[in-house]
Structure 1
């Protein structure tokens, strides 16, 4: 059941999930280069099995070190993720990423659907797009 009204823009509540070869390096990069906030990291035997980072404007990321269990449907290949992060001011996040030395794979651009954003690659090859587009309004009530 939807919690927002028809015509309203949805709040970001989806969690992007990643498998990493070095989750600690990716966590540190997300905090420094983009401004995520680490809230928890659970480890077993020196391996990060689950970590959560919040995006200050809503939503977040869950990640951990890659588990090579062939029966685990969550054990996706490292470096194959693509995330879109919504922000009120993509120019500020762009400057932060640039100063942190992030690999910018798409410079700041404006789209015909109202986005103003850019894309960077994290240390493991995942692409993070950052922009101001919050999605289309809900067309009608969903029950």
Structure 2
């Protein structure tokens, strides 16, 4: 029996959600699948990762809401099939590189950046280990 890869959605809140959405689209290459809200308030946005399953669900920071987290405190890892091209795109976007492109001890080629709100993002070729039998 083949077990599919997990579909995991990172959920974020942002001080300036429209600006962060634009950054993710322009700098990383996410694709906006949905966006709800008025003006500068984003009630919900779905950004898909074009190179695989999953993506980001993102909205404006709403202190006191049931599902509330402090903006800028998340971290995520995104698998990409062309790390070198994405790294060049991120460099061209003047992203805040916190770990340059390099090979890891576990066989991945990856890099890490900090987005404009402080969230940490790593992008690499590591797809994870298979589920135990």
TM-score, length of structure 1 as denominator length: 0.87
Matched, 1:38 2:32: yes
Which runs of structure 2 are paired with 1:1-143 in the superposition (5 Å)? 4-5=2-3, 11-44=5-38, 46-58=40-52, 59-69=54-64, 72=66, 74-140=67-133
What is the SS of the residue equivalent to 1:56? coil
**C-alpha distance after superposition, 1:58-102 (max 9, x if no partner):** 210001000111x51x20001001010100111111100000111
Cα RMSD of the aligned pairs, angstroms, is: 1.5
Unaligned runs of 5+ in 2: none
Shift in Å, 1:46: 4.3
Unaligned runs of 5+ in 1: none
Q: Does the Cα contact within 8 Å between 1:12 and 1:86 map onto a contact in 2?
A: no
Q: Does the Cα contact within 8 Å between 1:117 and 1:129 map onto a contact in 2?
A: yes
The separation in 2 between residues aligned to 1:131 and 1:25, in whole angstroms, is 24
- Aligned residues, how many? 132
